[in-house]
Structure 1
Amino acid sequence: MAAKDRFHQVVKTSLIKDGWNVTHDPLQIKVGGVDMEIDLGAERLLAAERGDEKIAVEVKSFLSSASAISEFHTALGQFINYRAALRREDPNRVLYLAVPILVYNSFFQLDFPASMLLENSVKLLVYDIQLVQITEWKT
């Protein structure tokens, strides 16, 4: 079982405050003989259901001592793999990458990360750590 990201609970509480019902913590998927848990950064997934909308959320903090680009490589790779797995096993569920607002407003605005998010159609959930709330949904 993978460790939860430092801001896992912040994102979970923010989803609940935003009217979502958290249904899986983590969301486990088996696809092509591989077991996956849609990670919360340091590894666990949130899945939430709102009306007939279903989402999965991969939480990332970008706090490790590694470089931001290394964490971005990992996050983007996980997002692409999890999205492909969801398409096969739970096609009605939409995947979001959750990132702190400070990271979104700085690193994610740089040309290269921004272009990779666009090129790979990454949906973002931007959260505020201090206010414990979702500030933006970027689709």
Structure 2
Amino acid sequence: MPRKDQIHDAVRNALLKDGWTITDDPFRIVYEDADVYADLRIVKTEAGASIQRALVIEIKSFIGYSPLHNLEIALGQYELYRIYLESVAPDDKLYLAVSATTYAEQFTRPAFTVVLQEKRLPLLVVDTGREEVVRWIN
């Protein structure tokens, strides 16, 4: 079983407060001979519709010596999960969840923004102190 990131519980609680239902914690993705775990799978029924939206969330704390190394690791893991997910659950969209502090301090740097724009990385930004969703970036 994978180890939970430091902000895992805060992200989970923020999503629950935002009306999402946690279906899997963690979410197992099996593709051929690969068996990996994303942090969460969540669902929400859209207001006024009977369509249920499902998302998979990979949570990253970005704690460590090098922010760029953390980005390298997160992007590699994200891409791997995204590729497998497209094969086994193509309707589930994958998001990378980070704290509002990490987003403000790291994800607004030019070295990060150029990569985020190029990769079109979907982000979930969470205020981990208040345990609230700050924004979804598609």
TM-score (normalised: structure 1): 0.92
1:19 aligns with 2:19: yes
Gaps of 5+ in 1: 39-44
Q: Which amino acid aligns with 2:123?
A: L
SS class of match (2:93): strand
Instruction: Determine the structure 1 residue equivalent to 2:75.
Output: 76
| Partner of residue 4, structure 1 | 4
Asked if residue 117 in structure 1 is aligned to residue 111 in structure 2, the reply is no
Give the superposition deviation at 1:37: 0.4
Q: Please, what TM-score do these two structures have when normalized by structure 2?
A: 0.92
Gaps of 5+ in 2: 46-51
- Which consecutive aligned stretches of 4+ in structure 1 deviate over 3 angstroms post-superposition? none
User: 2:61 is paired with a residue of what secondary structure?
Assistant: coil
TM-aligned CA deviation for residue 121 of structure 1: 1.6
RMSD value over aligned CA atoms?
0.8
**Could you tell me how far 1:105 is from its partner in structure 2?**
1.0
Alignment of 1:50 onto 2:44: yes
Q: Report the alpha carbon displacement of residue 103 of structure 1 after superposing the two structures with TM.
A: 1.2
Secondary structure at 2:19 match in 1: coil
Identical pairs, percent: 33
Give the corresponding residue for 2:48.
Answer: none
Query: How far has the Cα of 1:32 moved from its partner?
Result: 2.7
Secondary structure in 2 matching 1:10: helix
- Cα distance in structure 1, aligned partners of 2:111 and 2:79: 17
Alignment deviations for residues 56-85 of structure 1 (CA, whole Å, 9 cap, x no partner): 000011123x21111110001111111111
Corresponding position of 1:105: 104
- CA distance in structure 2 between the aligned counterparts of 1:6 and 1:12, rounded to whole angstroms: 12
Secondary structure of the 1:106 match is: helix
Query: One-letter code of the match for 2:59?
Result: V
Choose 1 or 2 for highest CA Rg.
2
